[in-house]
Structure 1
Amino acid sequence: MNFLKNIYELFYPELCLCCNKALTTNETVICLQCRHDLPLTNFTVEKDNLIEKSFYGRTQIEAATALFYFFKKGNIQNLLHHLKYKNQQQVGTLLGNWLGSELAKSTRFSTIDIIIPVPLHQKKLKTRGYNQVTTFGNSLSKTLNIPFQENVLSRISFTNTQTKKLRFNRWENVQELFFVANEKTLENKHILLIDDIITTGATLVACCTAFEKTKNIKISIACMAYTK
């Protein structure tokens, strides 16, 4: 069986999703060189980091982090493009395991009770076939031994893609778009809200606003990447 696998890999090698070079036996998803060069933020252990400061005066959060900085035409953009548009779910698994190991070592995230993803609208979910944050959330859940629940938060209206909108218009476009299915189940809980990329933070603020009526809830945020 290993012989046939080796023959297959000889003709159809698995390629690094960053540099497109063939992976070696001990490499998965990305090669060791690209992994070493990825721009880590180290925000998980940094109080009052850039992400947390971006939410000051907008919404109440306990802590926030992202695994990487996001740069246009960089390797993180390549990785997230493969995850979001090419159904390369192994990227979400890799990043979830990676960030999960960091969160597990940080006292700032030690009281999390439940992991909740930013949802897609059902129309977009049907078109794409998956939420790009699902495998990321499942990996975080397994690494941290914390429940991951996808049906808690719902998007209640459909908007066009946010990526090309100006900061102010983007904020207007996500107001009151989210609904909490059962607030009672979240009372006195510390939730970890997760997404792929933080840009202006408007979508995350809108999600936090949806939780405001929930008694004694605490919210922290963890994403794959952050745009400076």
Structure 2
Amino acid sequence: MLHSFWGDFVGLIFPRLCLACREPLVSGENHLCTGCRAELPYTDFHLLPPEQNPIGRRFWGKLPVRHALSYLRFVRHGRVQSLLHELKYQGQRDVGTALGQLYGAELHDAGLAADFDLIVPVPLHPRKLAKRGYNQAAAFASGLSEGLQLPWSATALRRTTHTSTQTRKNRDERWENVATVFEVESPLAIVGQRVLVVDDVLTTGATLEACGAALLAAGAAEVSIATIAYADR
């Protein structure tokens, strides 16, 4: 009873806020308010056949992927952009973890956990990691790991070169920027594994393509990809 009182008291002074709209959460809500949970633009790509999946089509002829998944559609100036901004630039790594938990549980309920052995986030270069303090893709991977009940590794892939930002580059420029900057840290941990490679947002897919190619070259049995959000080109 005392614990409940102090919890309510602290909540009045330091209210928990919805990660998307920043409005106070009420009892029973975690991370996202009921309104945002209902109105977020979910893709449901995991329920579509491959030929109808726009992410899968984006990798045709470039990278053989088993599953191409994304939780939300990126809508400029919408809730998803707010979530990604909080995750990448406001130090709110809990955004990635929470969305990973939610999406991982959804994918687990759909039976997809049986198709993966290991979750691997797109790595940051150590210089950028030191500046930001965490890898937003790793936050998402940790949440997916909990929801899917599968292991994840923050060290399976390594970024060997500090590249310029991908923003405002076209697909060819993005590919040239990242084509040779990823390598597998320990091939023995990858050989024969069905790897789910994850990142925060998919635009052209060049970064995920480069990561997937490095994993397959190191002996991964197959590669799938998953992101928090998917941006139409």
TM-score by length of 2: 0.91
> Structure 1, residues 17-52: CA drift from partner, whole Å, max 9, x if none?
322222111212221001100000001121220000
Q: CA deviation at 1:169?
A: 1.6
TM-score by length of 1: 0.93
Partner SS state of residue 127, structure 2: helix
Would the aligned equivalents of 1:47 and 1:63 in 2 still touch at CA under 8 Å?
no
Partner of 2:65: 61
Would the aligned equivalents of 1:52 and 1:64 in 2 still touch at CA under 8 Å?
yes
- Shift of the 207–216 alpha-carbon distance from structure 1 to 2, 3 Å rule, reads closer
Partner of 2:86: 82
Would the aligned equivalents of 1:63 and 1:109 in 2 still touch at CA under 8 Å?
no
- In 1, Cα distance between the equivalents of 2:47 and 2:148? 16
Partner of 1:38: 40
Partner SS state of residue 154, structure 2: coil
Given residue 181 of structure 1, which amino acid in structure 2 is its aligned partner? E
Match of 2:10 among 8, 11, 26: 8
Would the aligned equivalents of 2:16 and 2:24 in 1 still touch at CA under 8 Å?
yes
- In 2, Cα distance between the equivalents of 1:41 and 1:112? 20
Partner of 1:143: 147
> Structure 1, residues 113-134: CA drift from partner, whole Å, max 9, x if none?
1111100000000111100122
- In 2, Cα distance between the equivalents of 1:39 and 1:219? 26
Given residue 168 of structure 1, which amino acid in structure 2 is its aligned partner? D
- In 1, Cα distance between the equivalents of 2:84 and 2:166? 16
Moved over 4 A (4+): none
* Aligned positions, number: 228
- In 2, Cα distance between the equivalents of 1:12 and 1:221? 37
Answer with 108-117 or 126-135: which moved more.
108-117
| Greater helix share, structure number | 2
Q: CA deviation at 1:107?
A: 4.3
Partner SS state of residue 133, structure 1: helix
- Shift of the 116–122 alpha-carbon distance from structure 1 to 2, 3 Å rule, reads same
**What is the percent sequence identity of the aligned residues?**
39
**Structure 1 unpaired stretches of 5+:** none
